[in-house]
Amino acid sequence: SLLNELDAVQLAAVDVREIGNAGRSLIAWVLLSDKTLKPADLRRQLSAQLPEYMVPAMFMLVDELPMNASGKIDRRALPKPDSVRDGITQEYVAPRNDMEELLANIWCQVLGLEQVGVEDNFFELGGHSLLATQVVTRLRQTAQIEIPVRTIFEALTIENLAMVVNRDIETNRIHQVPVIEPRGEGVQVPLSYSQLRLWFLDQLDPM
């Protein structure tokens, strides 16, 4: 309903479909009256009015929408995207440095894609908050680099995220997670609160 209320939208439909590793997600098929608009523009306008989970993960810009005999949109005949990249308009831009290459590989793994460009928007590729958490986890496991999940929401693209990570590493705002070494034998460690409580209860009333 909100899509159809936008001035630049002539007609739109939204349905739930499978997108890569994102699982069942919202896809919007949009017939624009203003052909200069991009999916990112539509996403930005909807995000100002809707919570994240109600904003489509992909916007398919189409020349027409299929209609049934009743003159309504035929949802079963809506075109299926051949790939997630069909839902975005920018051309593929390959990684240009080590950090961009690392992040591109992680995004491909998390999103279930064969190729991700450095200018592609994470959420236009089907990403969402749970997958953003997986990106953070894989970055920690792969490169021992710790970043907050909100950084992905703010950066949006690999190009921006790589610049943020590299800048913060150089300024020591983030650091590489140290490798956890096994503890040697005979080393005494303090009890946890739960263990301390059990010890106290045992001392108070031995079985």
pLDDT tens for each residue of 3-26: 999 989 999 999 988 766 556 778
Sequence-distant (≥ 6) Cβ neighbours of residue 100 within 8 angstroms: 118, 158, 159, 162
Q: How far apart are CA 97 and CA 92, in angstroms?
A: 15
Q: What angle do CA 14, 37, 44 make, to 5 degrees?
A: 65
CB atoms near residue 123 (< 10 Å): 24
**pLDDT value for 122:** 87
Sequence-distant (≥ 6) Cβ neighbours of residue 30 within 8 angstroms: 3, 9, 11, 12, 42, 59, 60, 61, 62
For residue 84, count CB atoms less than 10 angstroms from its CB and return exposed for 0-12, middle for 13-18, buried for 19 or more. Answer: buried
**pLDDT value for 13:** 93
CB atoms near residue 134 (< 10 Å): 17
pLDDT tens profile 97-121: 999 999 999 999 888 888 889 998 8
Average pLDDT, integer, range 122-149:
87
Q: How is residue 59 written in tokens?
A: 């916007």
Q: Is the pLDDT of residue 79 over 60?
A: yes
Strand 23-32, strand 58-61: pairing:
parallel
**pLDDT value for 5:** 92
> What is the H or E stretch that residue 160 is in?
helix 158-170
> What is the H or E stretch that residue 10 is in?
strand 9-19
Q: Which of 36-45, 93-102, 198-207 has the lowest mean pLDDT?
A: 198-207
DSSP 79-128: PPPSSGGGG--SPP----SHHHHHHHHHHHHHHT-S---TTSBTTTTT--
pTM of the full predicted structure?
0.57
Across the chain, what does the average pLDDT equal?
83
Average pLDDT, integer, range 175-185:
68
Task: Let me know: does 97 contact 72? Beta carbons within 8 Å.
Answer: no
pLDDT band at 175 (very low <50, low <70, confident <90, very high): low
**pLDDT value for 176:** 56
**pLDDT value for 47:** 85
Q: Is the pLDDT of residue 40 over 70?
A: yes
DSSP SS3 for 149: coil
**pLDDT value for 61:** 86
